[in-house]
């Protein structure tokens, strides 16, 4: 079972606290060195920015986007180092309980959620939503490279850190699957609390992110790995960066389309929580023959 893999290697609390400290240090300090240097350079020129997002005017959207992703690169490298050398366990155990990473699972989730988002987008476009063609050949192809080779590092870090490393740690502590799902889902949602769209739309969006965390946590628990959640998460962020963007969310890029819809908690958010995600859970459970829901999810199966 995936949640039990936290028992592998050196799993005493001091090792976890040391790893968390190193990840936070490298993510928050080392990872933000490029942005700090850029801000310092502007400051030397007498330019003072009120908000870090204003940097994109001076760096360009692509360069600023890369700078935002660098902390995740630093975070995942440190996480892998700590798991390998401090916890002395196989890095693969962060991803899956299977002997090898199941790419078929990854791409199945990638395609099914990517297809769903495409349908949502087409319906919005033909319904007359203010979605504008935004193609810029000078920047778009660079954005494609960033979205394919760097952006997945961000989503992978979030998955292996939250639904891999911390998920297994809390399973080790509380020995109940549902507790890990609840705690990690909540932490994952709250992590997005500083995103600009939460300020624009309100706390209802934070609740949406938390329930997304529950959804992904259930998948990781029931499927004994992160292949499905990684595919879902990767295509979600790639779509937001590459296909359609806006000027008020965390990802503001030179995507193909610019959505000028005012910030709101829309029908697609409600449909995602109430219909789409339960339907995806049903599809995944049937395809991959998930069993023992009560034992795993409701805590009747001690870890």
In contact, 22 and 244? CB cutoff 8 Å: no
**pLDDT for residue 299:** 66
- What residues contact residue 16 under an 8 Å CB cut-off, 6+ apart? 169
- The yes-or-no verdict on residue 31 having pLDDT over 90 is yes
Tell me what the mean pLDDT of segment 226-246 comes to.
97
What distance in Å separates the CA atoms of residue 245 and residue 241, rounded to the nearest whole number? 6
Q: Please report how many Cα atoms fall inside a 13 Å half-sphere around the Cα of residue 263, on the Cβ side.
A: 15
Q: Is 76 in contact with 153 (CB distance < 8 Å)?
A: yes
pLDDT exceeds cutoff 70 at 300: no
> How distant is the alpha carbon of residue 241 from its chain centre?
13
Model confidence at 90: pLDDT above 80:
yes
| Predicted pLDDT at 292 | 84
Instruction: Give per-residue pLDDT as tens, 182-203.
Output: 999 999 999 988 888 888 899 9
Report the C-alpha gap between 288 and 120 in whole angstroms. 26
Place of tokens 């193609």: 135
pLDDT band (50, 70, 90) for residue 53:
confident
End-to-end CA distance of the chain: 9
Share of residues in the chain with pLDDT > 90 (%): 78
For the cut 70, the answer to whether the pLDDT of residue 293 exceeds it is: yes
Contacts by residues 136-142 (CB-CB < 8 Å, ≥ 24 positions apart)? 136/254, 139/60, 139/61, 139/62, 139/254, 140/254, 140/256, 142/62
In sequence order, the 6+-apart residues with CB closer than 8 A to the CB of 65 are 143, 146, 241, 251, 253
φ, ψ of residue 195 in degrees (nearest 5) = -65, 140
What pLDDT is stored for residue 194 in this prediction?
A: 83
For helices 103-126 and 277-287, give the axis angle rounded to 10 degrees: 150
8 Å CB contact between 67 and 35:
yes
Return the pLDDT at 6: 86
Q: 198-228, pLDDT tens digit by residue?
A: 888 999 999 999 999 999 999 999 999 999 9
Q: How many CB atoms are located within 10 Å of the residue 215 CB? A: 20
Render pLDDT for 162-185 as a digit per residue (tens, 0 to 9).
Answer: 999 999 999 999 888 999 999 999
**pLDDT class for 252, splitting at 50, 70, 90?**
confident
The tokens for 236 are 């979600």
CA pair distance 137, 72, nearest whole angstrom: 27
pLDDT tier at 107, thresholds 50, 70, 90? very high
- Please name which of 150, 115, 144, 124 lies closest in space to residue 254, comparing C-alpha atoms: 144
């Amino acid at each position: 079972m995936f949640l039990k893999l936290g028992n592998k290697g050196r799993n005493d609390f001091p090792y976890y606290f040391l790893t968390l400290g190193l990840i936070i240090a490298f993510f928050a300090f080392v990872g933000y060195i490029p942005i700090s240097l850029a801000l310092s350079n502007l400051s030397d020129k007498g330019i003072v920015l009120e908000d870090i997002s204003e940097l994109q005017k001076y760096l360009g959207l692509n360069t600023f986007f890369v700078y935002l992703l660098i902390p995740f690169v630093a975070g995942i490298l440190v996480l892998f180092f700590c798991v390998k050398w401090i916890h002395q366990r196989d890095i693969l155990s962060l991803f899956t309980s299977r002997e090898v990473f199941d790419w078929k699972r990854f791409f199945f989730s990638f395609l099914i959620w990517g297809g769903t988002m495409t349908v949502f987008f087409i319906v919005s476009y033909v319904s007359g939503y203010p979605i504008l063609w935004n193609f810029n050949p000078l920047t778009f192809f660079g954005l494609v490279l960033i979205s394919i080779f760097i952006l997945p590092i961000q989503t992978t870090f979030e998955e292996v850190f939250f639904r891999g490393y911390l998920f297994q740690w809390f399973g080790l502590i509380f020995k109940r699957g549902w507790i890990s799902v609840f705690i990690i889902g909540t932490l994952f949602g709250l992590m997005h609390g500083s995103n600009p769209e939460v300020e624009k739309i309100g706390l209802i969006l934070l609740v949406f992110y938390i329930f997304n965390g529950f959804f992904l946590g259930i998948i990781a628990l029931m499927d004994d790995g992160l292949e499905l959640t990684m595919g879902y998460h990767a295509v979600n962020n790639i779509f937001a960066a590459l296909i359609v963007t806006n000027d008020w969310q965390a990802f503001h890029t030179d995507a193909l389309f610019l959505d000028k819809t005012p910030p709101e908690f829309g029908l697609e958010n409600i449909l995602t929580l109430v219909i789409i995600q339960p339907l995806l859970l049903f599809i995944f459970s049937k395809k991959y023959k998930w069993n023992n829901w009560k034992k795993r999810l409701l805590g009747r199966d001690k870890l």
